[in-house]
Amino acid sequence: MEFKFNDENLGRINKILEKYPDKKAAVMPVLYIAQEQNGWISVEVMKEIAAILDMQESDVLGVTTFYTMYHKKPAGKYHLQVCTNVSCMLRGGYEIYKAYQEKLGITNGEVTADGKFSLEEVECMGSCGTAPMIAVNEDYFENLSTEKSLEILKSLS
Ligand code: FES
């Protein structure tokens, strides 16, 4: 399905482009706006961004796939990212990940049937000093235990 930015987001993009002498440099914030509008970065979204920023579609794809914050398929209303990299792993990251899998009945990259939650196991999110941690959409929750993580999930249900 074709993707077009709405007027409000086109305005935001134009403002961003004023800051960059080379349009291509704006690809990350523009991808972010696209994700806000569309929920994920589809092929059609990448095509539209490539056209707006005078880029090759393959270059937009490269940026999209490199960064875990861009969803490559539809995500749930609450996208749960659980870090299982070294610091988080040593302090219970896998236990949290396992508890979420069991509670939600989904595994990495899946969405619950009601579309409310999606789960992703991720690499370090730069918050190792407060491991273990998760992100719910854009918000970080740190210094967690499995119990606290399940409370967070409950508060979103
Ligand atoms: S290892 Fe989990 S945030 Fe760095």
What pTM did the predictor assign?
Answer: 0.80
pLDDT in tens, 50-89: 999 999 999 999 999 998 889 998 999 999 999 999 999 9
pLDDT in tens, 105-146: 999 999 999 999 999 999 999 999 999 999 999 899 999 999
Task: Determine if ligand 1 sits within 6 Å of the CB of residue 85.
Answer: yes
Assess contact for 119 and 80: CB atoms under 8 A: yes
Task: Determine if ligand 1 sits within 6 Å of the CB of residue 89.
Answer: no
Task: Determine if ligand 1 sits within 6 Å of the CB of residue 68.
Answer: no
Residue 3 CA to ligand 1 centre (angstroms): 34
Assess contact for 83 and 91: CB atoms under 8 A: no
Residue 134 CA to ligand 1 centre (angstroms): 9
Sheet containing 78-83: give its strands across.
Answer: 117-122, 78-83, 134-136, 139-141
